[in-house]
Amino acid sequence: MNYTIFRDGQQYGPYTLADLQRYVASGDVLLTDLASSEGMGEPVPVSQIVGTIPVPLQAAAPSAPAIEYPNPPNLHWGLVLLFTILTWGMFMSVWGVVLSFWLKKVAPSSRALYFYIAELGCLALVFALGMASVVAHGATTLIPIVQLASFVLTLIARYSFRSSMEEHYNNVEGIPLTLSGVMTFFFSTIYFQYHVNDIVRRKRVEQLQLVTG
């Protein structure tokens, strides 16, 4: 059955009962408005037609699933420092690749991984040239050049990682993060590992608070 609505001398409709219920729920049709349909005599207030019939609720749009970002490699920053000392700094470069590989999953636009890999390649080349010079009983002029390239790539990798970390956590996950440029220069992956571990800890505390209410 269709209904026509009358208000202030104006006529609206016709509407089905479902339409009428929806418009009442949204406030577009008032319960005091008059309504009429075929077979009815005089128009009656909408409240008499709707009565106690429950107003159907619109189904809520499904919310987008929360993105679960992978946790960083679980290694205490103190161990990163220890292994770096024991390996004369080599572990710092290797761990930079490990961390930047994780960051690439979290922030696909990050390019730190490429610079860290290039840095490792330069270190491997320096080692190979050094061995070759020992065998040939003479130093090669390429070693200082490759070492300089390795140093430049190291700086680019560190600050690229820092930039990607701050951009992701501040703008995507909404976790305030500010990384010191000085600490990044001197401690790089040790410093980064400390902060990613701290972020994981903060997330776990927040989840526990949500569960416990």
Strand order in 34-36's β-sheet? 10-16, 2-7, 34-36, 44-45
- Residues 11 and 86 reside in one and the same domain: no
Q: For 154, list phi and psi in degrees, rounded to 5.
A: -60, -45
Domain limits for position 116: 77-212
> Domain total for the chain?
2
Is 67 domain-assigned?
no
22 and 114 share one domain: no
Dump pLDDT digits (tens) for 129-165: 888 887 777 667 888 999 999 999 999 999 999 999 9
Q: Is residue 57 part of a domain?
A: no
**What is the distance, to the nearest Å, from the Cα of residue 172 to the centroid of all Cα atoms in its chain?**
4
Burial (Cβ within 10 Å: 0-12, 13-18, ≥19) of residue 71: middle
Q: Would 56 be classed as within a structural domain? A: no
Interval 101-140: pLDDT, tens: 999 999 999 999 999 999 999 999 998 988 888 777 766 7
- Do residues 117 and 19 share a domain? no
The answer to whether residue 122 sits within a structural domain is yes
The distance of Cα 17 from the centroid of its chain, to the nearest Å, equals: 45
